[in-house]
Amino acid sequence: MGSVSNNGEANGNSFDVAVALKAADPESVSSLASEIAALGSGSVEHDEARLKLLKKARSLVQALETPRETMIKHLWAQPTLSSALSIGVESGLFTLMVQKRGPSTVEELAESLKASPLLLARLLRHIAAMGYLKEVGEDKYEPNNFTKSLTIPIIGDGYPCILGSLVPAASSLTGYFLKNGYEPPSDPKAGPLQVYCNTEMNYFEYVQANPPWGKYFNHHMGGYRQGRPSWMDDGFFPVQERLIDGADTSSPESALLVDIGGSIGHDLDEFRRKYPDAPGRLVLQDLQRVLDQIVELDARIERVAYDFHTEQPVKGARAYYMHSVLHDWTDEVCGSILAQVTAAMKPGYSKLLINENVIPGTDADWQATALDLVMMTLFSSKERTDADWRRLLGKAGLKIVNIWGKGEGVESLIECELA
* Dist. CA 267–CA 77, nearest whole Å: 37
67-150 domain in CATH 3.30.70.890? no
3-state secondary structure of 182: coil
Q: pLDDT exceeding 90 applies to what percent of the chain? A: 81
Confidence check: pLDDT of 83 > 50: yes
CA 144 to chain centre: 23
**pLDDT of 226:** 86
The superfamily CATH assigns to domain 239-418 is: Vaccinia Virus protein VP39 (3.40.50.150)
Each residue's pLDDT tens digit, 144-182: 999 999 999 999 999 999 999 999 999 999 999 999 999
More confidently predicted of 394 and 208? 394
Q: What are the tens digits of pLDDT across the range 331-370?
A: 999 999 999 999 999 999 999 999 999 999 899 999 999 9
- Residue 4: the pLDDT is 46
pLDDT value of position 224: 87
At 45-62, the pLDDT tens digits run 888 899 999 999 999 999
Catalytic site residues? 327
Cβ neighbours, 10 Å, residue 332 = 10
3-state SS class at 85: helix
pLDDT given at position 44? 87
Task: Judge if 67-150 and 239-418 fold alike in CATH terms.
Answer: no
Q: pLDDT tens across 189-237, in order?
A: 899 999 999 998 989 889 989 999 988 988 898 888 888 889 999 999 9
Q: How crowded is the C-beta side of 403, counted as CA atoms within 13 Å?
A: 19
pTM comes to: 0.89
Q: 304 pairs with which residues across the strands?
A: 285
Mean pLDDT of the chain: 93
Ordered by start, the domain boundaries in the chain are 21-64, 67-150, 153-223, 239-418
Summarised one tens digit per residue, pLDDT across range 363-373 is 999 999 999 99
Whether 291 contacts 305, CB under 8 Å: yes
